Structures are given as C-alpha cells and as structure tokens.
C-alpha cells in the first residue's frame, strides 16, 4: 500500500512497546513533514544511546562512563546502599531527593512465575560490595509485589552472614490517599509498621 | 454470558499492559480461568492498588470487552500474608499458582480446582510445610483433572505390578518388570513413595503433616510427580525449580 521506506519504518516502529500499526503510521507521516535536520538529530540521538550507554561497573546503573555519576560523587554517603531492581526505580528515588547514599541496580526481580532466577541478576556483585566492610546498611527497595518480595527475601538470605544492617522501606498508605479505599494488605502493613508521632517528627 | 458479570476467584498471574494497566488471570469456580484488564491499576492512587496481587482471593465485577474483559470493581475476600514472609512459602505458592493455571480450562466450570487451590494456599498460610502442601495439591489436581496415572496394573500388558517399582511418565503409569526391559526412560517409583502417594490421595489437601514421612520417599515422589506433570503439560514448571533450589 505504501512505498517501501514508509512501510519499513512502520514495521520497525511497531516493534517498540505500546506502539501499534496506527500510531506507527501517524509517527511516520509526522516524520515525512518534519525538517531533515530534526530527523537526523533524532537518528543520531538513538545511535548515540546504543553506542555510549553502558552499565556502571560498580552499581550497574546506566552510565556514559565506567562509573556512573552517583558512584563518582564523593559527597554521597558510602556506608548506606539502596538496592533497586531497575535504573527507572533508581531515578524515582533520586527524584525524591531524600536519599543521599549509593545504589545497586539488580537488573530485574526474581520471578518464579516468569522463570527469572538469581543467576540473571546482579546479586554476586552486591554481596561482594557488602563483604568489603564499608557498607553499614543495605536498604532493599524492591517493589512490594510477589517478585519484589521474593527478591527481598532471597537477598536477606544471601546477606545473612555479612555484618551489615538490612532494612526495607516502610509499606503503607500513599500521600493523599483515601483510607476507605485502601486495600486490606496495605492497611495491615501500615498498621504493623505504625510509629509514634514524636518519633516521626524527629 | 451477560455484558456485566460477577466473578469470584484467586488471582493466578498479573502482567503489565501499557503504562498503567494490568492483565489479571483469575481462577474462578464457576467460569474457570479468565483474563481481564484492570485499567489504571498500576497508578499509585488506583483503588485497585494492592488488591490485585497473585494468590489474593477477590470478588469482582467484570464487563465483557471486545477482546479482553474489563475488571471494574474489586473486593478482597481473603489474602494470605504469611505466604510472603518466607522464601519457601512464597516459592511454593508461586508454584501452586503456575500449576493451577496450567491445569484449569479456559472459561469452564472449575470448582474442584478452585477449592483445591484455596485449601492449599490456606494450608501454607497456617504454617503447614509447603512441600507437603504442594505434593498433596499435585496429586489431587491430577485426579480432579482426569490425568490419574495407572498404578493398579502394567500400562503396557495389564499384568501385575505388585513387585515392580518401574514407572513411565510417558506411558502414564506403572510398568511390570518384563515390559520395563523393552521400554525406554523408566523411572524408579519406590514402594514407600507409592504408599505415600496413596496416603496423600486419601487425605484432605493441607491436612497431612510431615510426621512419619521419610525424606527419601518424599524426594522420590517429588521426582515422579515433577516428571509426570511436565509430561502432561509438555514443559517443566519454572516455579518448581525455585522451590527446589532456593526454597530450602
């Protein structure tokens, strides 16, 4: 129906997540009417993404250099390590600007239902970092889902022989949420993890 | 089926759809296995948040969709918090969910499978050894699904198997000593493990305890059932590897 360059690009764009044939077609026709320089800039950015991005050799976050900006930042607290599953989760915590320690990115979560085992995750390098002795606390910031909980429990087991404090972020109600719509599991966890107001103010 | 229907069931699996949605797979007693989209359920302030986790028993209102049904309201009936507190229980419950997903027909009455899974999860929640619960559920599920192995006589010649300890997952039952010479891939199903199999079959799921169960019989029964179930489905269960390797 369309000329080869158009149909080829539509086909390639439909391989991207959340892009169906209709959206791909819309994008292609938008690109036809876009100045050549803009398209070249977009293409160059996509190629640079693949050529320049790599895993940080310390924390496995995405980085342009051997070490990511967080690992190279000497002002951050090296004694506290936050373990996350993906670089996107790291970015979410960074956005909160509350955590000033360092990170470790696992590269996924242990998922018995999807068959993702510990051998596919960056767990060996985490235990190696913990064994060095500089780290005093490890925060297991995995999602409170089945896979996230499995990952956290597995890590607790792996870190059990190492003299380091292992913690988990509090589970409870999100800011602005209506209590009456909260689910039983979240409410139960929120009640279990309650603390006195004086302590919260400190 | 009406345009809007009520469904009670246990969530077997969830998978992300787009940016904020989830597809849930539900095992319902009346309509078997169903898939439904929970729109916006991955948003932090969604009313679905926390309710659509695997192994949670829910009651929901579902609207018929063109391709996939849409979950519009959810109420949690029962959740099993203790199964997430240790690795063995968590992996065992994940294995049960995978097992029942494979053995439950799509949109067909599955009351037996549903009750079995509910009792199994409740037993793990109560603190019964997850390994025992899994073996019990496997054996009962094989029976309610109509895949029971032939253990009364030889599956090849119909001769006596009283003294034989040969089993063939491929042929679906016990094989006498004579026939086992000709057949390939024979498995060793010990008399102790076979008696354990019969005990599990007679007992209610989750009502067995680890008392008087020899470790080697349990291990042999586990091997036989793993290979038999994988033979029926045509693939091994990924969660069972987790239970064996990392759950102990």
pLDDT band at B184 (very low <50, low <70, confident <90, very high): confident
Give pLDDT tens digits for B84-120. Answer: 888 899 999 999 999 999 998 887 888 999 999 999 9
Contact status of A92 with chain B (Cβ, < 8 Å): no
Last residue of a domain, one of B78, B103, B119: B78
The span from the CA of B80 to the CA of B124, in Å, is 9
pLDDT of residue A146: 87
Put simply, the answer to whether A149 touches B90 (Cβ < 8 Å) is yes
pLDDT of residue A141: 95
Do B146 and B197 lie in one domain? The reply is yes
CB B156 within 8 A of CB B176: yes
pLDDT of residue A151: 94
Segment B26-49 shows an average pLDDT of: 88
Do B123 and B225 lie in one domain? The reply is yes
Give pLDDT tens digits for B124-170. Answer: 999 888 989 999 999 999 999 999 999 888 888 888 888 888 899 88
Residue A62 has pLDDT above 70, yes or no: yes
Residue B242 has pLDDT above 70, yes or no: yes
The span from the CA of A156 to the CA of A152, in Å, is 6
pLDDT of residue B248: 63
Give pLDDT tens digits for A120-130. Answer: 999 999 999 99
Give pLDDT tens digits for A4-52. Answer: 999 999 999 999 988 889 999 999 999 999 999 999 999 999 999 999 9
Last residue of a domain, one of B38, B60, B78: B78
Q: Which CATH number does the domain housing residue B95 bear?
A: 1.20.1440
Do B57 and B100 lie in one domain? The reply is no
Question: Per the structure, how many domains does chain B have?
Answer: 2
Residue A202 has pLDDT above 50, yes or no: no
Report the sign of the C-alpha dihedral through residues B112, B113, B116, B122, in that order: negative
pLDDT of residue B116: 93
pLDDT band at B183 (very low <50, low <70, confident <90, very high): confident
In 10 A of CB B120, how many CB atoms? 28
Residue B204 has pLDDT above 70, yes or no: no
Do B72 and B115 lie in one domain? The reply is no
* E strand or H helix that includes residue B213: none
At CB < 8 A and 24+ separation, what contacts does A162-170 make? Answer: A162/A127, A162/A130, A162/A131, A164/A130, A164/A135, A164/A136, A164/A137, A164/A138, A165/A136, A165/A137, A165/A138, A166/A137, A166/A138, A166/A140, A167/A137, A167/A138, A167/A139, A167/A140, A168/A139, A168/A140, A168/A141, A169/A139, A169/A141
Put simply, the answer to whether B45 touches A186 (Cβ < 8 Å) is no
Gap from A18 CA to chain B (nearest CA, Å): 6
B47 CB neighbours in chain A (<8 A) are 181
Do B17 and B110 lie in one domain? The reply is no
B45 CB neighbours in chain A (<8 A) are 174, 176-177
Task: Give me the total of CB pairs closer than 8 Å, taking one residue from chain A and one from chain B.
Answer: 74
Of residues B45, B54, B81, nearest to A146 (C-beta): B54
Q: Which residue has the tokens 């680890």?
A: B210
Residue A56 has pLDDT above 50, yes or no: yes
The span from the CA of A73 to the CA of A137, in Å, is 19
Do B18 and B126 lie in one domain? The reply is no
Do B141 and B164 lie in one domain? The reply is yes
Do B52 and B138 lie in one domain? The reply is no
Q: Tell me the residues of chain A between 181 and 200 that have a Cβ less than 8 Å away from chain B.
A: 181-186, 188
Contact status of B230 with chain A (Cβ, < 8 Å): no
B42 CB neighbours in chain A (<8 A) are none
Do B87 and B74 lie in one domain? The reply is no
Spatial neighbors of B216 by CB under 8 A, at least 6 apart, are B190, B192
Angstrom distances, CA of residue B181 to CA of A189, B176, B177, B178: 59, 9, 7, 6
> What is the residue range of B56's domain?
4-78
Token pair of A164 as six digits: 């380091």
Q: What is the architecture of the domain spanning A76-169? A: 3-Layer(aba) Sandwich (3.40)
Give the residue from B174, B169, B140, B141 showing the smallest Cα distance to B157.
B174
Residue B18 has pLDDT above 90, yes or no: no
Helix%, strand%, coil% for chain B, nearest 5: 40, 25, 40
DSSP H helices in chain B: 87-103, 111-126, 130-144, 177-182, 191-202, 215-233, 238-246
Gap from A117 CA to chain B (nearest CA, Å): 8
Last residue of a domain, one of B44, B78, B112: B78
In 10 A of CB B203, how many CB atoms? 15
The span from the CA of B53 to the CA of A38, in Å, is 44
Gap from B3 CA to chain A (nearest CA, Å): 26
Contact status of B79 with chain A (Cβ, < 8 Å): yes
Do B109 and B223 lie in one domain? The reply is yes
Do B166 and B215 lie in one domain? The reply is yes
Do B131 and B193 lie in one domain? The reply is yes
Rounded to the nearest 10 degrees, what angle do helices B87-103 and A146-159 cross at? 150
pLDDT band at B1 (very low <50, low <70, confident <90, very high): low
The span from the CA of B87 to the CA of B12, in Å, is 18
Rounded to the nearest 10 degrees, what angle do helices B130-144 and B238-246 cross at? 160
Residue B2 has pLDDT above 80, yes or no: no
Torsional class of B149: left (φ above 0), alpha (ψ -120 to 50), beta (otherwise): beta
Give pLDDT tens digits for B205-225. Answer: 556 665 567 888 888 999 999
Q: Which CATH number does the domain housing residue B28 bear?
A: 2.40.50.140
Name the residue ranges covered by the structural domains of chain A.
Answer: 76-169, 172-202
């Amino acid at each position: 129906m369309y000329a080869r360059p158009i149909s080829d690009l539509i086909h390639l764009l439909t391989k991207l997540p959340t892009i169906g044939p209709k959206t791909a077609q819309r994008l292609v026709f938008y690109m036809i009417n876009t100045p050549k320089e803009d398209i070249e800039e977009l293409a160059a950015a996509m190629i640079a993404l693949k050529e320049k991005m790599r895993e940080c050799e310390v924390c496995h976050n995405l980085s342009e250099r051997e070490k990511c900006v967080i690992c190279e930042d000497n002002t951050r607290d090296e004694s506290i390590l936050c373990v996350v599953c993906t670089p996107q989760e790291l970015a979410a915590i960074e956005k909160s600007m509350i955590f000033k320690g360092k990170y470790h990115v696992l590269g996924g979560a242990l998922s018995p239902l999807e068959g993702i085992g510990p051998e596919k995750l960056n767990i060996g390098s985490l235990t190696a970092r913990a064994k060095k002795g500089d780290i005093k606390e490890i925060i297991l910031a995995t999602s409170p889902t089945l896979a996230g909980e499995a990952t956290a429990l597995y890590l607790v087991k792996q870190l059990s022989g190492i003299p380091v404090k292992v913690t988990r972020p509090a589970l409870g109600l999100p800011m602005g949420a209506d209590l009456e719509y909260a689910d039983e599991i979240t409410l139960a966890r929120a009640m279990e993890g309650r603390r006195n107001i004086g302590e919260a103010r400190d | 089926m009406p345009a809007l229907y009520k469904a009670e069931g246990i969530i077997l699996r969830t998978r992300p759809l787009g940016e904020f949605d989830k597809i849930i797979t539900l095992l319902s007693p009346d309509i078997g296995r169903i898939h439904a989209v929970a729109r916006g359920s991955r948003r932090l302030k969604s009313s679905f948040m926390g309710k659509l986790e695997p192994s949670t028993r829910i009651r929901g209102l579902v609207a018929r969709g063109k391709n996939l049904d849409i979950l519009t309201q959810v109420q949690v009936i029962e959740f099993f918090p203790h199964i997430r507190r240790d690795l063995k229980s968590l992996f065992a419950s994940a294995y049960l969910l995978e097992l029942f997903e494979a053995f439950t027909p799509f949109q067909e009455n599955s009351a037996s499978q549903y009750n079995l899974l509910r009792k199994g999860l409740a037993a793990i929640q109560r603190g019964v050894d997850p390994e025992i619960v899994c073996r019990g559920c496997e054996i009962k599920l094989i029976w309610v699904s109509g895949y029971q192995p032939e253990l009364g006589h030889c599956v090849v010649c119909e001769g006596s198997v009283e003294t034989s300890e040969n089993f063939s997952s491929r042929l679906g039952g016990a094989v006498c000593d004579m026939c086992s010479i000709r057949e390939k891939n024979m498995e060793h199903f010990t008399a102790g493990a076979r008696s354990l199999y019969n005990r599990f079959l007679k007992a209610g799921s989750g009502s067995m305890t680890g008392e008087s169960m020899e470790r080697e019989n349990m291990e042999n029964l586990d091997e036989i059932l793993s290979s038999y179930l994988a033979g029926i489905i045509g693939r091994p269960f990924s969660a069972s590897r987790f239970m064996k390797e990392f759950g102990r």
